[in-house]
Structure 1
Amino acid sequence: MNENGIATLEVFLVEPSHTQQVIINQYLQASGIHAVTFVSSGNEILEKLKKTKPDLIISSMYLPDMTGVDLIHAIRKDSESYDMAFLLISSETKIQYLEPIRQAGAIAILPKPFTQQELDTALCASLDYLHPEKANLEHLDVEDLRVLLVDDSEFSRKYIQRVLNNVGIENISFACDGKQALALFQEHFFDLIVTDFNMPEMDGLQLVNAIRGDAQQVSTIPILMVTSEQNQNRLAAIEKAGVSAVLDKPFEPQSIKRLIRQLLN
């Protein structure tokens, strides 16, 4: 872990429980972070964000005036706060509550209780998101890569775009679903496709099958699927269809950088 870099992070901790504030702060101090501002409600932090911007927002799911979902959506809708790293710490396990957090581009979702290692991993991901390094490819200039990004969530598209930009990829085309992506694929050449799985019109699996069966295009184009899908049968079907790699939401920025190197070198 880059302890010197981690120690520079300024954190807003949104947690209504004083006991949980103390516990989480102890973990943060063990990681070397001492610049922690404690906030008890969603509206309180939204007011604070008008005056100052932390590096990382850590929030629980249930606040007195809103949920963590409401909070991250409010942050993502604010152009000045949009790119902030967001970490959820919650004992919530129901997918209908966690899925919107994943789609909105959270750095990580940690359980209660969490381990020091889990927190350190999330903090490293935050640091890499905030202070990225360009990906080094042996045979290609990363600036020349042509990427097709497919996701029905605007928040997710913007978050993944930010991560791709951070590693030096600027030439990105966007599609909201598989049907739109397939039309773009048939008209243009791409070096890499990054797609979600669960989408309307045509999902990621149908898109992969269509691309791999297209005789007019190079069917060996690398396809990276970024998904929060947990169903093992569906994941097995994705891999069988010929996807090059599967990355979970939320993912560490280093993970997508490493996969891009593996897929394109």
Structure 2
Amino acid sequence: MQELTPSDLSILLLEPSPTQSKIIVKHLAEEGVHNVEVAGSIAATVDILNDHKPDLVISSLHFNDGNALELVRKLKSDDDFAHIPFMLVSSERRKSQLEEFKQSGVVAILPKPFSKDHLGKAINATLDILAPSELELELFDVHDLRVLVVDDSRLARNHIKRVLTNLGMQHLMEAVDGKQAIGLLQEHMFDIVVTDYNMPEVNGRELTEFIRQKSTQSHIPILMVSSEVNDTHLANIAQSGVDAMCDKPFEPENVKQILYSLLNQD
């Protein structure tokens, strides 16, 4: 696949403030992105999307006629738009509010104001999704890897599967929670488990403890995906036996590096 650069991107920017939109457009230009269309409302956004599909949607949180969470859910539930990466730019700091976006499969969440590094990282994550490169392993053929993806959010599972598929993984099974994952582990063999932490009935820590203590696949690598960042929480997860952790949003380059490290171990 031909390598994409920021200058190749077509971006739809949703921002109700003309001043803020000018600032963001300027920052994008500094990153080499010049093809930017601006919409100030949800209605205008829908009209533009029905006319043509951008490579990336960048959105503020609140509009007079709705909010970004309603929009991203609508897009991710529509086959015509679900593939379009969605990036949130917001001054919102409340964990409960941002958690819903993390579970919805957004490619990045940028603080407002954001730094050049924030924006550059998010643009690179978008390029990794649009023009992926396969994971090259020494001990495995990436096409043969058997992967179990566990997450109670359908949108999050779809995003994780897209990232893994882009890396060349073709044999993916999914579970809606740890309880279903345990059933699948008793019936199938896997090469790696990618699991969320916060899930009903059986969470990611409990699933990991089952795999390590009761499963015939006790040595399988486990990548835990969690939006939790406090030290106590991370320590509890680490003690359960996970091999690696990554944050939501599930960023392709970070995931690629983690998987390379996990799967190239003798």
Q: Is the TM-score greater than 0.5?
A: yes
**Please, which runs of 5 or more residues in structure 2 have no aligned partner?**
none
**3-state SS of paired residue (2:224):** strand
How far, CA to CA, are the matches of 2:153 and 2:30 in structure 1?
A: 36
The aligned amino acid for 1:122 is A
CA offsets, 1:178-217, max 9 Å, x none? Answer: 0110111111110000000000110001100111102x51
Determine if contact 1:133/1:166 at 8 Å carries over to the other structure.
yes
Determine if contact 1:197/1:203 at 8 Å carries over to the other structure.
yes
Counterpart in 2 of 1:140?
140
Determine if contact 2:160/2:250 at 8 Å carries over to the other structure.
no
Provide the TM-score with structure 1 as the length reference.
0.96
How far, CA to CA, are the matches of 2:46 and 2:220 in structure 1?
A: 43
Counterpart in 2 of 1:230?
229
2:245 paired with 1:249: no
The aligned amino acid for 1:241 is S
Aligned ranges 1:86-235 → 2 under 5 Å: 86-214=86-214, 216-235=215-234
The aligned amino acid for 2:229 is Q
Determine if contact 1:69/1:97 at 8 Å carries over to the other structure.
no
Report the alpha carbon displacement of residue 83 of structure 1 after superposing the two structures with TM: 0.9
How far, CA to CA, are the matches of 1:109 and 1:259 in structure 2?
A: 21
**3-state SS of paired residue (2:63):** coil
CA offsets, 1:207-260, max 9 Å, x none? Answer: 00111102x513111000111123432221101111010100013211111111
CA offsets, 1:82-106, max 9 Å, x none? Answer: 0111111100011221111111111
**3-state SS of paired residue (2:147):** strand
How far, CA to CA, are the matches of 1:154 and 1:173 in structure 2?
A: 13
2:45 paired with 1:48: no
The aligned amino acid for 1:96 is S
How far, CA to CA, are the matches of 1:125 and 1:24 in structure 2?
A: 18
**3-state SS of paired residue (1:137):** coil
Determine if contact 1:134/1:167 at 8 Å carries over to the other structure.
yes
CA offsets, 1:22-46, max 9 Å, x none? Answer: 1101100101111000000112212
Aligned ranges 1:72-83 → 2 under 5 Å: 72-83=72-83
**3-state SS of paired residue (1:74):** helix
How far, CA to CA, are the matches of 1:58 and 1:70 in structure 2?
A: 14
**3-state SS of paired residue (1:152):** coil
How far, CA to CA, are the matches of 2:212 and 2:88 in structure 1?
A: 37
How far, CA to CA, are the matches of 1:228 and 1:218 in structure 2?
A: 26
Determine if contact 1:91/1:112 at 8 Å carries over to the other structure.
yes
Report the alpha carbon displacement of residue 66 of structure 1 after superposing the two structures with TM: 1.2
Report the alpha carbon displacement of residue 4 of structure 1 after superposing the two structures with TM: 6.7
How far, CA to CA, are the matches of 2:51 and 2:202 in structure 1?
A: 43
**3-state SS of paired residue (2:37):** strand
**Please, which runs of 5 or more residues in structure 1 have no aligned partner?**
none
The aligned amino acid for 1:244 is D
**3-state SS of paired residue (2:65):** coil
Counterpart in 2 of 1:260?
259
Counterpart in 2 of 1:67?
67
Determine if contact 2:132/2:166 at 8 Å carries over to the other structure.
yes
Determine if contact 1:148/1:190 at 8 Å carries over to the other structure.
yes
The aligned amino acid for 2:184 is L
**Segments of 4+ moved more than 6 angstroms:** none
Aligned ranges 1:21-36 → 2 under 5 Å: 21-36=21-36
How far, CA to CA, are the matches of 1:178 and 1:130 in structure 2?
A: 30
How far, CA to CA, are the matches of 2:96 and 2:129 in structure 1?
A: 26
| RMSD, matched Cα | 1.2
How far, CA to CA, are the matches of 2:155 and 2:4 in structure 1?
A: 31
Report the alpha carbon displacement of residue 47 of structure 1 after superposing the two structures with TM: 2.0
Determine if contact 2:104/2:156 at 8 Å carries over to the other structure.
yes
**3-state SS of paired residue (2:245):** strand
CA offsets, 1:155-177, max 9 Å, x none? Answer: 00011010011001010111000
Provide the TM-score with structure 2 as the length reference.
0.96
